[in-house]
């Protein structure tokens, strides 16, 4: 094709032997490939220079590969890490996590109810044991009264134990929702530099 129009058609050999622009195109392509091959050979020669160093006894040592400037620059770039190594601290963290736990969930009322329920449970457990120890020595107390009072105290202690577990579950669920929602907001609003320097696997681990 010349100037957007088909000027000649045929097989590869016919067009090449005709001495038209097709021959010039093929020759230009071959010459450019020859230049590229020579440049590649020069680069290979620079990157794989071997130096034979003779020791004092006259024997030559093993050839040593010399790095070119391109390889050195690539190695320097790869050595620069955007991601910092994750550190792990050990030791006592104090009461700060518990304080954050209740502040985030605003669960001080739930905390008071949990403490009250736990205290009532422990008190009723002690009271049931005390009732058995005292009532057995009272001859005027019948078996029905003994068992009935003990059953009532045990039922109340079980109720407060259930109340304690239920409130603790509500508190944990509320705090987990607050932590997770704030975490997701922070991730979605983070700049792109955060994702460049933080692996996705580390973010998923936090989730």
pLDDT at 68: 52
Q: What pLDDT score was predicted for residue 29?
A: 63
Q: How far apart are CA 167 and CA 116, in angstroms?
A: 11
Cα(134)–Cα(178) distance, integer angstroms: 50
At residue 103, φ and ψ (nearest 5 deg) are -70, -40
Structure tokens at 168: 């603790």
pTM, 2 dp: 0.48
**Binned average pLDDT, 10 residues per bin, the chain of 207 residues:** 73 74 69 64 62 46 50 48 74 82 83 92 92 82 84 93 93 89 90 84 84
Q: Which two tokens stand for residue 182?
A: 């704030």
d(Cα 150, Cα 132) in Å, to the nearest integer? 7
pLDDT value at residue 49: 56
Please, are residues 61 and 55 in contact by the beta-carbon 8 Å criterion?
A: yes
- What is the per-residue pLDDT for 67? 52
> What local confidence, expressed as pLDDT, does residue 161 receive?
95
Q: Could you give the CA distance from residue 156 to residue 122 in angstroms, rounded to a whole number?
A: 11
Tell me the H-state helices in the chain. Answer: 12-17, 21-47, 69-79, 96-105, 108-135, 143-188, 192-197, 200-206
- What are the domain boundaries of the chain? 1-47, 97-206
Query: What is the pLDDT at residue 206?
Result: 82
Predicted confidence at residue 167, as pLDDT, reads 92
pLDDT at residue 157, rounded to an integer: 94
Rounding to the nearest 10 degrees, give the CA dihedral for residues 172, 178, 180, 184: 180
Neighbours of 114 (CB within 10 A): 19
């Amino acid at each position: 094709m010349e100037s957007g129009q088909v000027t000649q058609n045929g097989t590869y050999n016919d067009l090449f032997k005709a001495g038209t622009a097709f021959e010039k195109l093929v020759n230009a392509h071959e010459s450019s490939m020859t230049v590229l091959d020579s440049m590649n050979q020069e680069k290979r020669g620079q990157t794989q220079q071997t130096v034979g160093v003779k020791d004092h006894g006259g024997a030559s040592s093993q050839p040593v590969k010399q790095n070119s400037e391109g390889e050195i620059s690539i190695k320097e770039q790869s050595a620069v890490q955007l991601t910092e190594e994750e550190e792990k601290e050990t030791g006592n963290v104090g009461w700060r996590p518990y304080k954050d736990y209740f502040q985030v969930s605003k669960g001080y009322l739930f905390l008071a109810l949990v403490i009250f329920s736990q205290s009532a449970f422990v008190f009723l457990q002690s009271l049931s044991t005390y009732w058995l120890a005292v009532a057995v020595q009272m001859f005027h107390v019948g078996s029905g009264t003994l068992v009935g009072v003990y059953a009532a105290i045990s039922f109340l202690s079980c109720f407060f134990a259930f109340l304690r577990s239920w409130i603790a579950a509500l508190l944990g669920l509320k705090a987990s929702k607050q932590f997770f929602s704030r975490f997701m907001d922070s991730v979605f609003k983070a700049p792109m530099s955060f994702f460049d320097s933080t692996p996705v696997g580390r973010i998923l681990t936090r989730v």
